[in-house]
Amino acid sequence: MRGTVIVAGMVAICFSALVGLKAAPPQAQPASAPTFSKDVAPILFKNCTHCHRPGEVAPMSLLTYKDARPWAKAIQAAVLTGVMPPWHADPAHGEFANDRRLSDADKNTIAAWVAAGALEGNPADVPSPPKYVDGWQIGEPDVIFEMTEDYPVPAKGVVEYEWMYIPTNFAKPTYVQALEIRPGNRRLVHHVLAYYRAKPDAQRVPVLLFDSERQRPPAPRASGLRPRQTDATPARLIATYAPGTLPQVFPAGTALRLEAGGVLELQMHYSTDGTAGTDRTKIGLILSKNPAPVEVFANHFFNATLSLPARERRARGCRRRLSAGRDSMGIVPPYPSAREEVGVPAGAAGWHRTGDLVGPEVRLQLADVLHVS
């Protein structure tokens, strides 16, 4: 009510001061000034609303002018500084099919829109908004696996990593064309790493081999009430979920092979936010319809021997993403190629993204070594 009274008082004062005077026509905005409806909405629909819509991970929706207008200056700042859309591969090394960066023209349009007052324009100019799948982004999965319990997350405190196990009961090797992890509670799930634990087929020659000495942690990470199983069954990373991560969808004609009798192992990282809740994460699979797909070999590698001096706070260990404070990461094959280095610059903390390389494949030969710096 106080805001209404103030506005009404201002109107009354202005009216009394202008009685008897002819009102001046409103100043017209330049015809070239960008508007949300015609110029900005197409950019947001193409690049932003996959996350910036109701029910998704972003903190606000940008689907409509009403949604976006209060955030106009914040959008401009995030776009011009490169914070949004999130993309952390170094443009100097590698070209990616899923590059999320805006063009200079799009950045300039958003900057000009804000500078001109963030006008709506003619609502009839707004293109049809994208049609998003309500639920699974990969479509209805052929197989859905679910955590066997509702995990309780407290309101406060640190929740150590928890390890959840889901039997697949696959009776034979199964080829998967797409995988998607769907948290039961996005508010509380920071990230999920999905491993597949299964006895390897002894008739098949291993393709990706670990350096067991370098990848043996000096001490196990602290776990919560559900620690990781320590048997000798191999586990390989096949899917991830975190802010900015899209479902794992393999190119047409390719698929990931899962051996019979395997178990899904989920590394769950929960974050508290002041309100207790529960989570029951799911993982959905689209099975390959191709009777003879080209096999995709998915795995993970890391250097567990990295050691930092006492009090060193500049760099921290990293998985595929970078943790806070890490300057950059480069992955370099052992010989020259069209893309001999893939760089991830600073600023990638908290995001898990995958870069899909464009162009001819970088072919690795037996005994080749990848250098991560």
Confirm if 42 and 127 have CB atoms less than 8 A apart: yes
Structure tokens at 216: 């043996």
Query: Which CATH topology does 143-296 take?
Result: Jelly Rolls (2.60.120)
Confirm if 112 and 27 have CB atoms less than 8 A apart: no
Q: Is the pLDDT of residue 61 over 90?
A: yes
pLDDT tens for residues 188-223? 999 999 999 998 876 776 666 666 666 666 666 667
Task: Looking at mean pLDDT, say which of 245-259, 308-322, 324-338 comes out highest.
Answer: 245-259
Alpha-carbon span 174 to 178, nearest angstrom: 12
pLDDT tens for residues 112-167? 999 999 999 999 999 998 888 778 889 899 999 999 999 999 999 999 999 999 99
Confirm if 53 and 130 have CB atoms less than 8 A apart: no
pLDDT grade for 281, boundaries at 50, 70 and 90: very high
- Percent above pLDDT 70 for the chain: 64
Alpha-carbon span 176 to 139, nearest angstrom: 14
Determine the pLDDT at residue 24.
Answer: 37
Q: Is the pLDDT of residue 89 over 70?
A: no
- The owner of tokens 């930092």 is 308
Helices 72-81 and 104-115 pack at an angle, to 10 degrees, of: 150
Alpha-carbon span 249 to 256, nearest angstrom: 10
Per-domain residue ranges for the chain? 29-125, 143-296
Confirm if 97 and 143 have CB atoms less than 8 A apart: no
Task: Looking at mean pLDDT, say which of 10-24, 201-215, 219-233, 352-366 comes out highest.
Answer: 219-233
pLDDT grade for 297, boundaries at 50, 70 and 90: confident
Chain-centroid distance of CA 278 in Å reads 22
Alpha-carbon span 360 to 221, nearest angstrom: 39
Exposure on the CB side of residue 168, measured as CA atoms within 13 A: 25
Q: What is the mean pLDDT of residues 39-55?
A: 90
Determine the pLDDT at residue 27.
Answer: 39
Confirm if 52 and 62 have CB atoms less than 8 A apart: yes
Q: With CA atoms as reference, report the closest residue to 131 among 61, 65, 49.
A: 49
Higher model confidence: residue 252 or residue 334? Answer: 252
Determine the pLDDT at residue 338.
Answer: 31
pTM reported for the whole predicted model: 0.68
Determine the pLDDT at residue 197.
Answer: 93
- Percent above pLDDT 90 for the chain: 42
Q: Is 18 helix (H, G, I), strand (E, B) or coil?
A: helix
Q: With CA atoms as reference, report the closest residue to 153 among 277, 267, 266, 269.
A: 277
